Structure 1
Amino acid sequence: MTAVDFAAFVERLSEIACETILPFFRTALGAADKNVGGAFDPVTEADHAAEAAMRRLIMTTFPSHGIIGEEFGSIRSDAEFVWVLDPIDGTKSFIAGLPTWGSLIGLLHNGAPTYGVLVQPFTRERFIGDGGGAVWRGPGQGGELVERKLTTRLCDSFAEATLLTTSPLLYTEDKLAAFRRVEAVVRLSRYGGDCYAFAMLAAGHVDCVIESGLKTYDIAPLIPIIEGAGGVVTDWAGGSAVQGGDIVATGCAQLHVRALKLLEG
Structure 2
Amino acid sequence: MHQDFWETVLTFCNTTTTQVGAKLIQDFGQVQATEKADGSLVTRADQWADEALRDAIAHAFPYHGVLSEETTHVFPDTDWCWIIDPIDGTTNFTRGIPLWGISLGLLYQGTPVFGYVAVPPINSQFFGFWFGDSGLSGPTGAFQNGKAIAPSTAPPSSNQLFNLCARSISVLKHDAFPCKIRMLGIATYNLLTVASGIALGGVEATPKIWDIAAVWAIAQAAGATWHSLSPDPIFPLIPGKNYGQVAYPTLILAQETLLPTFLPLVQHLGK
Q: TM-score range by the shorter chain?
A: 0.7 to 0.9
What is the Cα deviation at residue 16 of structure 1?
3.4
Corresponding residue for residue 64 of structure 2:
65
Corresponding residue for residue 32 of structure 1:
34
2:263 is aligned, of 239, 242, 260, to: 260
2:189 is aligned, of 188, 196, 221, to: 196
What is the Cα deviation at residue 21 of structure 1?
1.4
- Mapping for residues 90-129 of structure 1, pairs under 5 Å: 90-129=89-128
Cα 1:213/1:76, change in 2 over 3 Å:
closer
Structure 1: runs of 5 or more not aligned? 138-146
Cα 1:220/1:183, change in 2 over 3 Å:
farther
Structure 2 Cα separation of the partners of residues 159 and 78 of structure 1: 47
Structure 2 Cα separation of the partners of residues 190 and 124 of structure 1: 21
Corresponding residue for residue 2 of structure 1:
5
Structure 2 Cα separation of the partners of residues 252 and 240 of structure 1: 21
Higher RCO structure, 1 or 2 (CA under 8 Å, sep 6+): 2
Corresponding residue for residue 185 of structure 1:
177
AA at the equivalent of 1:11: N
What is the Cα deviation at residue 96 of structure 1?
1.0
DSSP 3-state at the match of 1:227: helix
Task: Confirm or deny: 8 A CA contact 1:84 1:217 kept in the other structure.
Answer: yes
Cα 1:227/1:74, change in 2 over 3 Å:
same
Structure 1 Cα separation of the partners of residues 174 and 118 of structure 2: 29
CA RMSD of aligned residues (A): 2.5
Cα 1:107/1:181, change in 2 over 3 Å:
farther
2:218 is aligned, of 185, 200, 225, to: 225
Moved more, 255-264 or 148-157: 255-264
- Mapping for residues 45-84 of structure 1, pairs under 5 Å: 45-74=44-73, 77-84=76-83
Cα 1:199/1:125, change in 2 over 3 Å:
same
Between the two proteins, what is the percent identity of the paired residues?
Answer: 24
What is the Cα deviation at residue 218 of structure 1?
0.5
Task: Confirm or deny: 8 A CA contact 1:162 1:186 kept in the other structure.
Answer: no
Cα 1:190/1:86, change in 2 over 3 Å:
same
Moved more, 4-13 or 111-120: 4-13
1:213 is aligned, of 188, 193, 206, to: 206
What is the Cα deviation at residue 153 of structure 1?
0.4
- Mapping for residues 147-158 of structure 1, pairs under 5 Å: 147-157=146-156
Moved more, 156-165 or 90-99: 156-165
Cα 1:21/1:82, change in 2 over 3 Å:
same
- Please report the TM-score for the alignment, with normalisation by the length of structure 2: 0.81
Structure having the higher strand fraction is: 1
Corresponding residue for residue 17 of structure 1:
20
